[in-house]
Amino acid sequence: MTKLSRILALVTLSAAMFAAPVRAEDVKAGDLVISQAWSRATPGGAKVAGGYLTIENKGTAADRLVSVSADIAGKAEVHEMATDNGVMKMRPLDKGLVIDPGKTVKLAPGGNHLMLQELKGPFKQGDKIPVTLQFEKAGKVAVSLDVQGVGAQAPGDGGQMMKKMHDHSGMKM
């Protein structure tokens, strides 16, 4: 291989690495596939953080996410957000979250999510936060939350969506 070929190969490899967003690996546990596990960076002193992911049930029987734990949090719960009489409320799902057979459940901002409380340290963009999901049938499953930017709305967003929403530079006054 010539020097020029090696340089071109290295440049191509580097470009491919930086072009694709970093995302968590899919984790398989029994009939479940857990993907797109992520969280947001936390501002200094924050004591809570959300965790988001997608759970697909490829089996023929329902499973249930019954709990979550994380060493970085003093307390971790599966939460839902729901509107009650026009007021958005958040509460723990004491009976867990059912993943019906053949269905996909997405934990996302503004909906069902993992709630990590009493944080022992900040989440910084680029970190990987280990959490353990406890399922009724699939058992304990270790996943890592890829930490995105503070305003991220989805994995790989890095906070760009929030910046776009607040950029009013093109508005006519």
- For the chain, the domain total comes to 1
Predicted TM-score of the model (pTM): 0.77
pLDDT of 111 strictly over 70: yes
Sign of CA dihedral 136, 57, 65, 120: positive
Q: Which domain holds residue 114?
A: 22-150
- Residue 11 maps to a domain: no
> Is there a domain that residue 164 lies in?
no
Residue 146's nearest CA partner among 52, 73, 67, 54 is 52
Structural element, H or E, at residue 16: helix 3-19
* Average pLDDT rounded to a whole number, residues 116-127: 96
Type of residue found at 29: A
Which CATH number goes with the domain that contains 116? 2.60.40.1890
Give the pLDDT score at 154.
Answer: 86
Instruction: Tell me if 17 is assigned to some domain.
Output: no
Is residue 162 one of the residues assigned to a domain? Answer: no
> In this model, does residue 81 exceed pLDDT 50?
yes
pLDDT of residue 2: 60
**7 part of a folded domain:** no
Kindly state whether residue 10 falls inside one of the protein's structural domains: no
pLDDT of residue 11: 37
Asked whether the predicted pLDDT for residue 20 surpasses 50, the reply is: no
Residues 9 and 145: their CA atoms lie apart, in Å, by: 31
In a domain, 170, yes or no: no
pLDDT tens-place string over residues 123-143 = 999 999 999 999 999 999 999
Q: Is residue 168 part of a domain?
A: no
Which tokens sit at 96?
């867990």
